[in-house]
């Protein structure tokens, strides 16, 4: 991680980076841009986004927090619907229990933050539509349509849906707020 980076965000998503970046991360940066007034391409130099191709890989990276985060933060954005099963091998653990267990896995617990999508990425796509996006949400299984939808949200519709999205998807909203706070401390 570059010393200028304030955070690295790990996504459990299995999407691959395209030539124009990882679409879910682009949306997070677009929401952050609305909060800070800093252009998305400049924010991408401060906040790295890494898709991990599965929740287990994102969780495993906690053991390498210090190398992943450098002097910045390591932030995980995970699907809320099945995380308890991955952490405790059972359903029903509270988000606080899950966060506590995950932070304990880290080699640098003070550098870790954990946020959730409700209930998952498909829920985020539905929330974007409910918040006023002009096109219907695609299924999460159609990766190409999902990527296009997230990019359209980031670049075309964010001013329409951003405030609603932060309220309805509080994990994404809290992630953006933490990043905004880190930028203001620079």
Pairing relation of β-strands 112-117 and 7-11?
Answer: unpaired
The greatest distance separating any two alpha carbons of the chain, rounded to the nearest whole angstrom, comes to 44
* Model pLDDT, residue 157: 93
Query: pLDDT at residue 127 above 60?
Result: yes
Domains: count for the chain: 1
- Cα separation of 56 and 53, whole Å? 9
Distance of CA 107 to the CA centre of its chain: 21
Judge whether 141 lies within some domain. Answer: yes
Judge whether 1 lies within some domain. Answer: no
Judge whether 135 lies within some domain. Answer: yes
Judge whether 180 lies within some domain. Answer: yes
Judge whether 2 lies within some domain. Answer: no
* Model pLDDT, residue 139: 86
Judge whether 97 lies within some domain. Answer: yes
152-170: pLDDT as tens digits: 999 999 989 999 999 999 9
3-47: pLDDT as tens digits: 589 999 999 987 655 566 899 999 999 999 999 999 999 999 999
Judge whether 79 lies within some domain. Answer: yes
β-bridge partners, 47: 7
This prediction has a pTM of: 0.94
Please, what is the average pLDDT of the chain? 93
**Which domain covers residue 118, as residue numbers?**
7-185
């Amino acid at each position: 991680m570059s010393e200028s980076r304030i955070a690295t965000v790990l996504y459990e998503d299995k999407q691959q980076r395209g030539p124009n970046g990882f679409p879910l991360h682009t949306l997070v940066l677009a929401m952050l841009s609305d909060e800070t007034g800093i252009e998305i391409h400049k924010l991408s130099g401060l906040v790295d986004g890494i898709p991990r191709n599965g929740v287990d890989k994102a969780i495993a990276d906690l053991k390498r927090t210090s190398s992943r985060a450098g002097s910045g933060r390591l932030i995980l954005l995970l699907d809320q619907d099945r995380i308890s099963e991955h952490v405790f091998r059972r359903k029903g653990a509270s988000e606080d229990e899950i966060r506590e267990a995950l932070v304990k896995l880290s080699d640098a617990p003070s550098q870790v933050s954990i946020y959730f999508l409700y209930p998952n990425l498909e829920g985020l796509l539905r929330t974007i539509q409910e918040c006023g996006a002009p096109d219907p949400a695609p299924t999460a299984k159609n990766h190409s349509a999902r990527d296009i939808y997230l990019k359209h949200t980031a670049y075309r519709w964010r001013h329409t849906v951003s405030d609603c999205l932060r309220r309805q998807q509080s994990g994404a909203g809290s992630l953006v707020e933490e990043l905004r706070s880190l930028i203001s401390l620079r």
